[in-house]
Amino acid sequence: MKILIANRGEIAVRIIRACRDLGYTSVAIYSDRDREALHTRYADEAVYVGPTPAYQSYLNIDSVLAAARKVGADAIHPGYGFLSENNVFAEKVEAAGIIFIGPSPGAIALTGDKLAARSIAADAGVPVLPGSEFNLSGREIPKAIGEEIGYPVLVKAVSGGGGRGIRLAHSDAELAQMVTAASQEAKLAFGDDQVYIEKFIRPARHIEVQILGDGLGNVLVIGERECSIQRRHQKLIEESPAPGLDKETRARLYDAARQVGLALNYRSLGTVEFLLDTNQNFYFIEVNPRIQVEHPVTEMVTGIDLVNAQILLAASGCLTLQQDQIRMRGTAIEARIIAEDPDQSFMPTSGQISYLQIPSGSGIRVDTALYQGMWISTDYDSLIAKLIVWGEDRATAIRRIIGALDDFNIAGLTTDLGYLRDIVRSEEYLSGQVDTMYLETFQSTDPIDAENLVREAALAAALYIHKMVKCSEAQINADVNQWRTAAWREQMVGFF
């Protein structure tokens, strides 16, 4: 069995590892920028698919299909992002006689249409938020619809995703404006200007349920994930199980997720997302028809390798697991290490990794495609690593992630590591009492030992410079970084 991985970065490496586990041959695809990337080197084979811009390479359906034909791939794993939720791609893959490791093209199309998914969920008896059942863009907005639903309301793109095409409206006047704004943004982002509205509830938690279906009427529920720590609809820290969720609510959530899966006759891995209010009422948001970024937390608490299971299901057509075999133990937490500068309004950063220290130890997992010397550009997603920890209980897991984040050091470009360290140390996080608006008001505070650390850093810098100035020329290496230091040292020598 030969599997082409139509993706890059950490998820491509993750999927290649699953192929190795299963004894399958892995094929990577790469763009110009990724000629030396880890996934390119890591796979058994690697095929060039086009220039650096994603639309010419990783999003280029013809090019990816040509690569699959060239190597004689039996299956294609799309990962997340890129072509993973593109039903046209899935159709073409299947038409080419290649297994698409994901849902049926029809299910992808249905989940991509948020209004359709909403009505499928509602028909299956799953609670949805009060909202419009039809597109509001390019037509007269029915009077009183906002009042009936109750302000504030969220205007959302029918083909939405990634937090784009979403606007909040507090009144009829604002609603008209926001419908226009959201539909323009949606048109640009997704090529579809349709929008609908939904009641906006706060405070609310974002909780999602992992499902695995065989497309033959069997749907397994593989635990839930709490993903309330988000910044502008982008998840930053996830954990499983959701802290403080009572048994009865969890059972209702699982049942709702299963009903949605059954209604879609779902095949492969999927995630059913819900909002949970303070009264333990939950509402369906959407289905993500692919492997999620945050899937490792589920793997850590259940011991199930989701990607292996997904590939095996695609290869054999039947589930190898039963619901009563699925148990959760302990707590797992994931933190996303992103090439963004929290002090510069989270602008993407770039640079060359000059030093990399990756944490390890019991209950610690790092999914990444980083290596020392790698150039991080802003051509692709800014997610550069995921740190996942597991602990016997939540308190242990938190202590473990605090230690592991301190052990995670990347020099050469700015990342959100310091920001993540501050979040996992905050009282609200420790108490498990955070909602989706938490990061909107979150203020980083200096860790207790920051002053000491800064003093140590000051001492270290001075000792380092002193040593560099004093040490003999023979010790100076001629490589680039070192040369700059050497030149600096030379300049200094004249002054002593």
Partner 1 sequence: MEKYRVIIDGKEFLVEIEGDRVWFDGQEVYAGIHFLNDDGLFMIERDESKREFHIKLRDEDTFQVTTRGLQTEAVVEPERRRRKKAKDSTDSGMIKAPIPGVVMNVAVSEGDLVEANQVLVVLESMKMLMEFKAPFAGIVDKIKVVKGQNVEKGDEMVMLLESPSD
User: Which residues are at the interface with partner 1 (CB under 8 A)?
Assistant: 354-355, 357, 405-407, 409-412, 417-418, 421, 447, 449-450, 453-467, 469, 477-488, 490-492, 494-496
Task: Measure the CA–CA gap between 418 and 413, rounded to whole angstroms.
Answer: 13
Angle, alpha carbons 235-349-64 (nearest 5°) = 70
Task: Measure the CA–CA gap between 156 and 154, rounded to whole angstroms.
Answer: 6
HSE at residue 340, side-chain half, CA atoms within 13 A, is: 18
123/479 with CB nearer partner 1: 479
Q: Cβ 375 to partner 1, closest distance in Å?
A: 15
The neighbour count for residue 245, using CB atoms within 10 Å, is 18
DSSP one-letter string for 331-393: EEEEEEEESEEGGGTTEE--EE--EEE---STTEEEEE---TTPEE-SSS-SEEEEEEEEESS
Q: Which residues, in sequence order, are CB contacts of 429 under 8 Å at separation 6+?
A: 229, 237, 398, 423
168/457 with CB nearer partner 1: 457
Residue 39 tokens read as 């996934």
222/420 with CB nearer partner 1: 420
**What are the residue numbers of the active site?**
290
171/354 with CB nearer partner 1: 354
25/426 with CB nearer partner 1: 426
Q: Cβ 467 to partner 1, closest distance in Å?
A: 5
168/462 with CB nearer partner 1: 462
Q: Cβ 351 to partner 1, closest distance in Å?
A: 10
Q: Cβ 46 to partner 1, closest distance in Å?
A: 28
Q: Cβ 494 to partner 1, closest distance in Å?
A: 7
Q: Cβ 397 to partner 1, closest distance in Å?
A: 18
Confirm if 337 and 417 have CB atoms less than 8 A apart. yes
- What separation, in Å, do the N-terminal and C-terminal C-alpha atoms of the chain show? 67
Omega before 241 cis (within 30°)?
A: yes
Confirm if 85 and 292 have CB atoms less than 8 A apart. no
